[in-house]
Chain A
Amino acid sequence: MDGTTKKHVSRSLAHIVLIVASFFFLIPFIWMVSTSLKPLDQVFTFPPEWIPKPVQWSNYIDAMNYIPFFTYLKNTVLITIFSTLGAVLSCPIVAYSFAKLKWPGRNILFIITIGVMMIPGQVTMIPLFLLFEKLGLVGTPYPLIIPAFFGIPFYIFLLRQFFMGLPDSLREAAKIDGAGEFRIYWQIMLPLAKPAVLAVGLFQFMASWTDFIGPLLYLTDSVQYTLSLGLQQFQSQKGSEWGLMMAVSTMMTVPVIILFFFLQKTFIKGITFSGIK
C-alpha cells in the first residue's frame, strides 16, 4: 500500500468509528424529536416507530397551550441573558488582574479561588437561600442572576489561564504609549481573549438555560417558572403528555445545538490548561 491509499483507509476507518459511536449519542435526540411528533398512544411501542405516522405537528401548538410557554420562554431567556452577561463582564476583568497585574495578596487569593471550586454547592445553598430570603428576593429571578456579576471561580480560572498565555510586552508597549490600565484591558487584552470569553459565555449560557435546581429553589410562583421547570408540568398524576413534553424539549434544545455547532471551534480554543501549577 502506498502512502495515499493508507491515508484514505485510515480516514475511512476514522469515519466508520465516529459514525458508529455517534449513533449511540444521537438516539436521545432522535427519540426526542420523533416523540414530539407522535400521538400519545404511539410513544411506547417496541420495536419503536422512529418515523411517526401520521406526523402530529399539532403537538407543538398543544404544548404551547398546555403550559404558558411564552411566559416561561421569556423568563428563561431573561435569566440566561443576564446571568451570561454578568459572567462575561465580571470574570474576565478579575482573571486579567490575577494573570497580569501584580498586587499584594494576589497569589493567595488565586489559591483560595481554586479551593472555592471544590466547595459543593450544597454547603452554601442553605445560607444563600436564607440570605436571599432576608433580602426578600426568594420568589424573584434575581438570586439566579446577581451572583454571576460577582464572578464564578471556574470561569475566572479558565480565563486566567488564557490571559497568562498572552505576552506581557503588549501591556508594556501600551503603557509607554500612555494608555491607562483600564484602556489596556478593555481595548487590547480583552479583544485578544475573545475565544476564552466566548467559551465562558457559552458555558454559562448552557448552565443557565438548562438549570433545574436553581429555579426549583428560588422561583416559587409558577408565573416565574423557566422552561426546564415547566417541563415537569407535563408529568402529572392523571397521566403524562410525553409528546407535548418532548415538543417543548426540542424547542429548548435546538437553539443551543445551533449555537454549539457554529461556535465549537472557538469554544475549544478558548479553554487552555497550559501553565497550571
Chain B
Amino acid sequence: MKSNPVNQTSTQNVPISTRRKNIVANLAEYKYGILFALPWILGLIIFYAIPLFSSIYFSFTTYSILQPGEFIGLQNYKDLFHDTLFWKSVYNTVYFAIFFVPLSIIFGVALAMMLNMKVKGMAIYRTIFFLPTLVPHVALAVLWMWLLNPGFGLVNGLLNMIGIEGPAWLGSETWSKPSLILMSLWGIGQAVVIYLAGLGDIPEDYYDAADVDGANWFQKTIHITLPLLTPVIFFNLVMGIIGAFQQFTLPYTLTQGQGTPANSLTFYVMYLYDNGFKFFKMGYASAMAWILFIIIMALTAIVFITSKRWVHYQGK
C-alpha cells in the first residue's frame, strides 16, 4: 500500500484517510479471499449443487441413458413404496447401521486410547492397526470368505475346538449381516486415526493437574479424556452414520453384486447401483438417492440437536 501524502500534511484528515485506506485494504482482501476460494466455489457448483438439483428433477422422470425419459411426477416414489426389495434393502441397511455405528465408536475410542500410550515401537503398532484399511477390498472380501467358511474356515475351526458348532456365517440369512458388521469393524483404522488426532489435541496440563490431585487412570479417562474427545466422537458419529448408510464395496465384492443369501446382503446403495447402472432406471435410482439423503439429513439433524448436551468444547 502506497502512503497517502494527505496523511502526513493534515492531522485532521488522518481518521478519514485511514478509514479509506482500510476500505481499500479490505477490498483487496475480499478480492484475494474470493480468488483463493474460487476453485472450490466452482467445484461446489459443478460437482455438488448442479448434480444435487438435477437429481431431484431426475427422480420425477423415467430417465435412463438409453432414452430421454418423461416427467412422471411422484410415480417413482410410489413405486418404491411398493417395491419389496427396496424395503428389504432399507431393513438391511438400518440393521447394519444400528449395530455398526455404536460398536465402531466404542472400539475406535478404545483402540485409539491404546495407541496413544507412550511406549516404544508405537509406529509399528499403529501401522498394524491401520493395515486392514490398506488391504484392497476385493482381497479383504476373499479373506473373510475363507475365515468364515462354515467347513474349513478359521473361525468355525476355533469354535469347534471349544465345542461350539459355528453358524454358516455368510451362507446364512441370519448370520450374514453380523458377519459383515464384524468385517467392517476390522476396517475402522481411519476413524482411529482421527480419534488419535483428537487425543493429541488434549493439553498435557490437564493430566498433570489430575496427577497432582491423585486421580487414577479410570478417573482421568472419565473426567478428562472422554469429555474432551466428544467433539471428535461427534464428528466420527456423523461420518459413521453417513458411511454406514453408504455401505457398498464390501458386500458388493463379497457377493459379486448379488446380495446373497436371499437378499440378506442387498444394501441400499447396492440396490440403487443396480437400478441405475444395471437396469438403467436412473430416475428410479435418483428417487432412491433422495430418500437416502433425507434419511441421512434427518439423522444428522437429530445428532446435531442432541450434541449440545453431550459435546464439550475446550475452553467453553
Interface residues of B in 25-54 (CB under 8 A from A): 26, 28-30, 32-34, 36-37, 39-44, 46-48, 50-52, 54
Contact indicator B46/A150 (Cβ below 8 Å): yes
Closest to A271 in B: B197
Contact indicator B297/A118 (Cβ below 8 Å): yes
Q: With A22-B129, A32-B143, A182-B32 known to touch, is A120 a contact of B293 (CB < 8 Å)?
A: yes
Contact indicator A213/B249 (Cβ below 8 Å): yes
Stretch touching chain B among A63-71, A77-85, A244-252: A244-252
Closest to B282 in A: A126
Q: With A15-B119, A28-B132, A29-B135 known to touch, is A261 a contact of B293 (CB < 8 Å)?
A: no
**Partner of A249 from B26, B51, B135 at Cβ < 8 Å:** B135
Chain A interfacial residues counted at CB < 8 A: 93
Residue B146 is within 8 A (CB to CB) of chain A in the complex: yes
Residue A111 is within 8 A (CB to CB) of chain B in the complex: no
New A-B contacts (16) at CB < 8 Å, excluding given A124-B47, A127-B58, A151-B44: A15-B119, A28-B186, A47-B157, A94-B40, A109-B37, A112-B44, A116-B44, A120-B242, A122-B246, A123-B52, A149-B39, A181-B36, A235-B142, A235-B256, A249-B139, A272-B197
The contact sample of 19 A-B pairs, CB cut-off 8 A, is A11-B119, A21-B111, A29-B135, A43-B146, A44-B149, A47-B157, A104-B30, A106-B33, A113-B44, A122-B289, A131-B50, A150-B40, A150-B43, A151-B43, A212-B137, A227-B136, A270-B197, A271-B194, A273-B235
Interface residues of A (CB under 8 A from B): 11, 14-15, 17-18, 21-22, 24-29, 31-32, 43-48, 90-91, 93-94, 96-98, 101-104, 106, 109, 112-113, 116-128, 130-131, 133, 147, 149-151, 156, 181-182, 185, 206, 210, 212-213, 217, 227-228, 231-232, 235, 240, 242, 245-246, 249, 252-253, 256-257, 260-261, 264-265, 267-274, 276-277
Interface residues of B (CB under 8 A from A): 26, 28-30, 32-34, 36-37, 39-44, 46-48, 50-52, 54-55, 58, 65, 111, 114-115, 117, 119, 123-140, 142-143, 146-147, 149, 152-154, 157, 186, 193-194, 196-198, 200-201, 231-232, 235, 238-239, 242, 245-246, 248-249, 252-253, 256, 269, 272-273, 276-277, 282, 285-286, 288-290, 292-293, 296-297, 300, 313-314
